[in-house]
Amino acid sequence: MWNPMCSLPLGVRQSGAHKLWGVLGCRLYSQSSVKPPKIPIQNSSATLRPQAEKQRRKLKREKAILAKDVENEKVKWTQKEKIIYSASTTPGDKKDTSVPLPQAYSPEFVESCWYQWWEKEGFFTPEHHGKLPHAVNRTFSLCIPPPNVTGSLHLGHALTVAIEDTLSRWRRMQGYKVLWVPGCDHAGIATQSVVERSLLRKHGKHRQEYSREEFLQEVWNWKNDKGVEIYEQLRKLGASLDWTRACFTMDPSFSSAVTEAFVRLSDSGLIYRSEALVNWSCALESTISDIEVDSKQLTGRTLLSVPGYERQVEFGSIVTFAYPVEGQEAELCVSTTRPETMLGDVAVAVHPDDPRYTELHGKQCRHPFTDRLLPIIPDPSVDMQFGTGAVKVTPAHDHADFLLGQRHDLPRLTVIGGDGLMTALCGNWLEGVKRFDARVRVLEALMEKKLFRGSKEHPMALPICSRSGDVIEPLLKRQWFVRCDEMAKKAIQAVDEGQLEIQPHLYTKTWKNWLSNISDWCISRQLWWGHQIPAYRVSLPHPSTQEDELWVWGRSQAEALECAAAKFGVTQSEISLTQDTDVLDTWFSSALFPFAMLGWPQKTPDLEQFYPNSILETGSDLIFFWVARMVMLGTELTGQLPFKQVLLHSLIRDKYGRKMSKSLGNVIDPLDVIHGITLKRLQEKVTEGNLDPRESAVAMEAQRKDFPQGIPECGTDALRFALCSYRTQGEDVSMSVSHVLSCRHFCNKMWQTVRFTLGVLQHSNEPITALDQISPVSCMDRWICSRMLSTVRKCNEGFHSYELHAVTAALHSFWLHNLCDVYLECVKPVLSPQATENIGGRVHAGIVSEMERHVARSLLYHFVCISLTLLNPIMPFITEELWQRLQLYSPEAIDHATSLCVQPYPQSSQLINWDFPQEEADFELAQEVIRVARSLRAQCHMTKEKPQLWVVCTPAQAQTLLPFSAPIETLGRISGLHFHCPPQEGAVALSTSAPPPPEGCAVGVVDHTCHLHLDVQQHVAVDRQMASLLERKGRSLRKLEQLISRTAMPGFLEKVPELVRLDMEQRISALKQELKNIEAQILALEQMKQSKQ
């Protein structure tokens, strides 16, 4: 049985299968369990609805991709020139920054050489901490979620690396002793499958044709040849990992830790051996874990390819057949999606209150093929409303039936073997037949016996092995299990008492719910590659008649032999031991990573210094499979929680809302975003995967629509900045390559800013003033200093709260909207060699002094250096490249061998004298004036002209704007600025108030008391301006009518708050004034037109 819709109308199926198989949503506990989960009884229709909704959303997304008439937002870009760093630099040596800086940003030029130098200098090791002048006596440690040795990184990995590396680099710059350990998982099933396919392709030999030792040597050969690729990809992403401590889960030291953990847990009774239903892949002939089970949604009859079958197999239909009732002329009809399992039926269940079957309670049915008598059992878990209300019971091949069989003490008959062939219990006619071929034979035999009652389409979710593509078979197997109850209670308690913090906090409830309903964890895997279970089956000279297996365990066979002799009271010479051939679940070894990577069980200096880890950062989808198991085993084996905080980031989805998955073909390799890739190569990657034809077609069409030119070269820094800019705590990330491309444009903006800064510095022999000695002179200097201080505060606050999107937003805003768009444009005239003359207009209200120019030059240097330092944890390559080139002008002595990545992270306390809130508040009005002035220029279609501007305002507003006259002129592109303050009763008149503006000006509204008059009479095209004004008049009239109609509504004065009423009154007043101004401008234009005639 696959899910609630796949078999009989048993209430348990409608709820329990959903949980046990985990194919319809979140997998809430280990499916390979012994302890029965807590399963509520509910109606089958309740699970049909979410499955149907999920399928509906999936089809809607596919329709959006395949629609021919829908124009998607494409990634638009032009090919940029690739600039290559050509200087002769030995790998590991520092990059030559005396090479001229290219005119444009090029990722390939920037990212060359730096990482090798960082790694060689040991900047990423905790040992370098002692060399830092700003070192503090605090540690920060974490482990990377170990990627599979077989895999290549995807954007989910890239998001993890971007977040963890940013946090590690930030703490390192704060002076912490940082240890971020790289690791790689041996990935038992995945690696064995890859090597098996490789051997079959190269040598035409299957695994079974090798001895275990020979095959394992082939795996090690493959790992040594290919296994380093994942580490190189991490280096490409700029991950500041301590490679001297790289950890592979099959390393001898780690393997010893795994053995030690198994022995200790077994000694304490937390590991035991039992028989239970497990997820079984017949193709792999192994149990597999929940995370390796994919759910394939079927809407009805579907033909699918299954490993080992030449023809496709039909799924998505439900069959009804009859069981004859013994001793009566009656029959009992049951339904199933797996008719081949009926050979293992041992009972039929009905609801005790179902009146249709009351007389059959205690009766029996005759099995048509085995001649077995099947008792008719009343059980309250049966759903009377689903199907016939009668349920076939197959305890050895169905999770829900297994639980029902336990309640009624039913036998368990295994009719499908681990190889997928029918067993001898089925009879000669089916023994040795493949399970899905047997399905056809059973249906034919039922028809011959006239017991077949029909077949119809049936929506279902089919569990598929993600490694082999095989259909999962529930089989009864003796396996090793971890007892989880007590450990789970401790994990819940740790969160409740605040010892363990989970962020975002919304996952706390999920944590409690899952651990409260946890089942025991099957850790046996029938593989060759992995940690062979250190348990030994004992053979005694005079075995007892009991059928129970005798097992012992030990750190070595000698220890196990000694244990067996003591346990069974015989000499060691009388005992024969056979080690279990199974290996441990990969997740078992991964759960030990936080302490095994530090040398546990030995009391190493690393373990004493860096355990518990400071934080665990990973994807939210691993909260149960990895995080919970680390917490349980870490607490049990070390007596301490493995980490103090858990930071969970969201899943990455494509632009259509689909989870990025290999099975959908929508996975994006981060290296393709970094280096760029053609559409042709993207499509080839899809065809190389083993995708369903429809999924392949959808994936390739999405690529054609989204990336018609392929993916441009964006670089590592742009990708990291884009990933960190998403709000990753809570909502899923809808990844957009267009966003990454815009981050590359941001990189180029940084590049051009530093090029300009270097040009300014090169034209002066005067040294830069030190940061603690510089004092801003002009109002713009004070404004930008205050903005810099605010940005430093926001960055530190963002890092402390792990809200990296707030950090990226603050830095992006400062660099683009404060530094480049405003300050640089204002300061260019000051820094110009001609600034000592009064060129064409006022510059800072007159001639610029050398002191002003020097202060501006020094401030620009410090703004750029501080901004690069703030950005370094997120964008390590470009910031290092640019910072190193600026150090030639540093007022402080800088060690040539140092790196930006080990410089102190800027703190607001260093810039406390840069707090100018009044200038920040005042400049907001100036910026509004600049915005409206630009808008007027655009409306009048003025590009090169620089007209005069009159600001008609209150004296108080004029006093605020006067100090910013030069910035308003520069940024507003005007040649003269005049302030006119109409007389107001009780107001102090402005001594420098200009005459009123001339007639015929274009008028713009800043607020109800401040209007701008742009003298356009000499520059405007009358007809075009008249049309523009008439259009504005229509828009303003509509807005005014809407506001007036709202104020005329009944009860407006009584129901609307006073502040809202005042705001609306001001808006009405401003619109009326604007309409009055527009009418005046139209009149003036008409007069101009008449005068020209």
Q: With helix as H, strand as E and coil as C, how does 996-1024 read?
A: CCCCCCEEEEEECCEEEEECCCCCCCHHH
**126 against 847, higher pLDDT:** 126
- CB of 194 within 8 A of CB of 150? yes
Comparing 764 with 371, the larger pLDDT belongs to 371
Distance CA 746, CA 737 (A): 14
**Which is higher by pLDDT, 1002 or 17?**
1002
* pLDDT confidence band for 1018 (50 / 70 / 90): low
Residue with tokens 């392949």: 696
- Tell me the helix, strand and coil percentages in the chain, rounded to 5: 50, 15, 35
| Rounded average pLDDT over 594-613 | 96
CA gyration radius, the chain: 37
Interval 746-775 mean pLDDT: 92
The sheet carrying 576-579 orders its strands as 551-553, 535-539, 576-579
What percent of the chain has pLDDT above 90?
Answer: 59
C-alpha–C-alpha distance, residues 486 and 638, integer Å: 16
Q: What is the pLDDT, as a whole number, of residue 348?
A: 96
Q: How far is CA 63 from CA 331, 461, 536, 986, in A?
A: 46, 21, 56, 68
**How many CA atoms lie within 13 Å of 140's alpha carbon, on the beta-carbon side?**
22
Q: For residues 484 and 695, which has the higher predicted lDDT (pLDDT)? A: 484
Tell me what the mean pLDDT of segment 745-753 comes to: 96
- Give the sign of the dihedral formed by CA 206, CA 212, CA 213, CA 217: positive
Q: Is the dihedral of CA 940, 946, 947, 950 positive or negative?
A: positive
- Answer yes or no: are the C-beta atoms of 472 and 464 closer than 8 Å: yes
Residue 236 has pLDDT above 90, yes or no: yes
For residue 295, what are its two tokens?
Answer: 């759910």
Q: Which amino acid is present at 835? A: A
Residue 141 forms beta bridges with which residues? 179
55 pLDDT higher than 90 = no
Q: If pLDDT is split at 50, 70 and 90, which confidence band does 436 have?
A: very high
Residue 651's pLDDT band (boundaries 50, 70, 90)? confident
Cβ proximity of 125 and 162 under 8 Å: no
Tens digits of residue pLDDT in 443-466? 999 999 999 999 999 998 899 988
- Walk across the sheet containing 452-457 and list its strands: 331-336, 317-324, 452-457
- The pLDDT tens digits of the residues spanning 81-134 come to 788 888 888 999 999 999 999 999 999 999 999 999 999 999 999 999 999 999
Residue 441 neighbours by CB distance under 10 Å: 16
Percent of the chain with pLDDT over 70: 89
3-state secondary structure 920-949: HHHHHHHHHHHHHHHHHHHHCCCCCCCCEE
**What CA–CA distance (Å, rounded) separates 13 from 393?**
12
DSSP 3-state of 734: strand
pLDDT of 810 reads 97
Stretch 810-823: mean pLDDT: 95
Helix (H) or strand (E) run with residue 5 in it: none
Contacts of 463 (CB under 8 A, 6+ apart): 2, 21, 23, 279, 293, 294, 295, 296, 471, 472
DSSP-derived secondary structure letter, 174: T
Predicted local distance difference test score (pLDDT) of residue 467: 77
Q: Which tokens sit at 986?
A: 């009780």
Residue 1091 has a pLDDT of 54
Amino acid 839: pLDDT? 38
Token readout for 546 is: 């009991």
pLDDT tens digits, residue range 721-736?
A: 999 999 877 678 888 8
Q: Order of strands, edge to edge, in the sheet holding 521-522? A: 286-287, 271-281, 473-482, 521-522
Nearest to 787 by CA among 649, 881, 927: 927
Rounded to 5 degrees, φ, ψ at 323 are -105, 125
249-257: average pLDDT: 96
pLDDT band, residue 441 (cuts 50/70/90): very high
**SS3 of residue 874 by DSSP:** coil
State the Cα–Cα distance between residues 745 and 69, nearest whole angstrom.
31
| pLDDT score for 1036 | 87
Mind listing the pLDDT tens digit for each residue in 165-219?
A: 999 999 999 999 999 999 999 988 889 888 988 898 889 998 889 999 999 999 9
pLDDT given at position 1017: 67
Residue 39's pLDDT is what?
31
Highest mean pLDDT among 363-377, 732-746, 933-947: 363-377
1076: Cβ–Cβ under 8 A, 6 or more apart, which residues?
A: none
pLDDT in tens, 69-79: 545 556 666 77
Residue 860: pLDDT band with limits 50, 70, 90: very high
More confident residue, 636 or 1039: 636
Residue 33 pLDDT: 36
What is the pLDDT at residue 40? 30
How would residue 3 be classed by pLDDT, with cut points 50, 70 and 90?
very low
Pairwise CA distance, residues 430 & 423, whole Å: 8
Encode pLDDT of 883-905 as tens digits.
999 999 988 877 777 999 999 99
Q: Choose between 5 and 76: higher pLDDT.
A: 76
Other Cβ atoms less than 10 A from the Cβ of 211: the count is 10
Q: Which residues contact 1082 (CB under 8 A, 6 or more apart)?
A: 1026, 1029, 1030, 1033
183 forms beta bridges with: 247
- Asked if residues 1011 and 1077 have their Cβ atoms less than 8 Å apart, the reply is yes
Q: Name the token pair of 910.
A: 């260093």
* Residue 68 DSSP class: S
Instruction: Please report the pLDDT score of residue 1060 as a whole number.
Output: 80
| Mean pLDDT score of the chain | 86
Q: Are 499 and 313 within 8 A, CB to CB?
A: no
**DSSP-derived secondary structure letter, 80:** P
> Parallel, antiparallel, or unpaired for β 390-393 and 347-350?
antiparallel
If DSSP states are collapsed to H, E and C, what string results for 515-563? HHCCCCEECEECCCCCCECCEEEEECCCCCCCCCCCEEECCCHHHHHHH
Global pTM value: 0.84
CB burial of residue 479 (10 Å; 0-12, 13-18, 19+): buried
**What confidence tier does 937 reach under pLDDT thresholds 50, 70, 90?**
confident
The size of the chain, in residues, is 1093
Under 8 Å between Cβ of 414 and 385: no
User: Given a cut of 90, is residue 271 above it in pLDDT?
Assistant: yes
Angle, helices 779-800/850-871, rounded to nearest 10 degrees:
10
Give the CA dihedral 990, 994, 999, 1002, nearest 10 degrees. -80
Which tens digits make up the pLDDT trace of 774-816?
989 889 999 999 999 999 999 999 999 999 999 999 999 999 9
Instruction: List the alpha helices (DSSP H) in 67-187.
Output: 107-111, 114-121, 155-173
- Residue 808's Cβ-side half-sphere holds a number of Cα atoms within 13 Å equal to 24
The predicted pLDDT at position 81 comes to 79
